[in-house]
Structure 1
Amino acid sequence: MAHITFHAPRVAHFDLGAIVRTKVAEVKEALARRAEYRAVYNELAAMTDRDLADIGISRGMIEDVAHQAAYKN
């Protein structure tokens, strides 16, 4: 007598908790980077043109410097 055995394909384990934790961590990281950007931007924007010149930054470079400080690490 012939026997047929059926093996259902294994489905990859779906861990919703891990996905949520990963997304929460990504959001926290994005918020921290944005806070760093704002802090650097505000600090540089509050400086006088002379103070900025002393550190080699023009007022037009503030956005770029703040972006590098927050996102290029």
Structure 2
Amino acid sequence: MSYTTATTSSFDVAARMHSLIEGFRANRAQKRAERQTYNELAAMSDRDLADIGVARGEIRHIAAQAGVLR
């Protein structure tokens, strides 16, 4: 005597595509925030940066953090 078990897997292509697109959008927004923060800080003079307590060498790191926080 043999037994057969029928199983089905959920393969929802639409949900996967939606998730993929949302991931791309989130990544694009993060990169946009990074780029905007970097450009704004890079445009500041050394004196302005010193006033807010930022060294020019820290700009890239601060911009990366700003992208993650947004």
Structures share fold, TM-score greater than 0.5? yes
6, 14, 18: which is aligned to 1:17?
14
- Corresponding position: 1:67 with 2:69: no
Identity %: 39
Per-residue deviation at 1:5?
A: 6.0
Alpha-carbon distance between aligned partners in 2 of 1:18 and 1:64, rounded to the nearest angstrom = 35
1:6 maps to 4
Given the two structures, how large is their TM-score scaled by the length of structure 1? 0.86
Show structure 2 runs of 5+ residues with no match.
none
One-letter amino acid of the counterpart of residue 14, structure 1: F
Q: State the SS of the aligned residue for 1:40.
A: helix
Per-residue deviation at 1:12?
A: 1.9
> Which whole-Å deviations, capped at 9, do the CAs of 1:19-58 have from their partners, x for residues lacking one?
0000000000000000000000000000000000000001
Give the 4+ runs in structure 1 shifted more than 3 A: 3-7
Alignment of 1:45-60 (within 5 A): 45-60=42-57
CA RMSD of aligned residues (A): 1.4
Alpha-carbon distance between aligned partners in 2 of 1:19 and 1:41, rounded to the nearest angstrom = 33
Higher relative contact order (CA 8 A, sep 6+): 2
Larger radius of gyration: 1
